[in-house]
Each structure stands twice: as structure tokens, then as C-alpha cells.
Amino acid sequence: MNILLIDDDIDFGETMRLTLSSWGHRVTLNRNWLSLMRSLKEDSYDLIIADIETPTGNGLTAFRFLNEDESVREIELIFVSGLNDAETLRSCQELGAGHIHKSSSVFEDVRRALTKITDSHVTTLDPVGVSIP
């Protein structure tokens, strides 16, 4: 899976990048929203994993804008954040995004989410891997 990751926390972002890479994924790590927008223009992604609160902006607000582009809207989106309040969860749901709380189980929670995404994509493929409309 080709994953675009945005997190301003250098240690967490790098640890997540290394973990996802060790699981066999290709990962592009961005530290701010401007570089994320540049990455979206340069490559195609299967999944975006994003922090919500960063010094360069709010991820929920950014994706309300970015989702105006159909090609971005089609990318699976998971927010991984320390925010876990009802309003944040509702906003994620409105965007059609997953939410994983940054807690001691964050990496296992991400692994479960990736498995769920991968399993849902496999069920839409025929035996030779061709997408069925």
C-alpha cells in the first residue's frame, strides 16, 4: 500500500514511518500541510494517515478543502490524533475518515485499520486481481 503520512511530531512520525515500512508499505512522511499538498500532486496514494492538530493547520479543516478534489476524496483517510472528544469523532465521521487515538495501542490499532482496508479491497477483486466494476 502506498501511504501518505503527515505528522509534525518528529519522533512519532518517524516511528510510524519505520513501522509502516517494516510492514511492507511504501510511506511518504510530510511534516506540514503544504508539503502534503505537493506530495498529492506528485504521486498517487492508497491511504493518508494524518495528525489533526499541527502548527501549520488543522487536519479536519484541511481535508474539508482537499476533499473538493475527487481524486483526494477517493483516498482512504485515517486521522491519528491525541484528540478523542465527541466533536472530533463526529468531524472525522462527516469526512468519511477513520480515527485512531494516539494511545499505547496506536500501532496495533493502525495495523488493524490497515488489515480492514486491505480486506475490503481484496473482496472487490476477481481471482486474477482485476477490479470488478
Domain contains 127: no
Per-residue pLDDT of the chain (133 residues; tens, 9 = 90+): 999 999 999 999 999 999 999 999 999 999 998 899 999 999 999 999 999 999 888 999 999 999 999 999 999 999 999 999 999 999 999 999 999 999 999 999 999 999 999 888 754 444 444 433 3
Domain contains 129: no
Domain contains 9: yes
Domain count, the chain: 1
CATH number for the domain harbouring residue 59: 3.40.50.2300
Domain contains 82: yes
Domain contains 112: yes
Which structural domain range is residue 13 located in?
Answer: 2-122
Structural contact between residues 57 and 33, judged by C-beta atoms closer than 8 angstroms: yes
Quote the pTM value: 0.88
Domain contains 34: yes
Domain contains 131: no
Question: pLDDT value at position 122?
Answer: 58
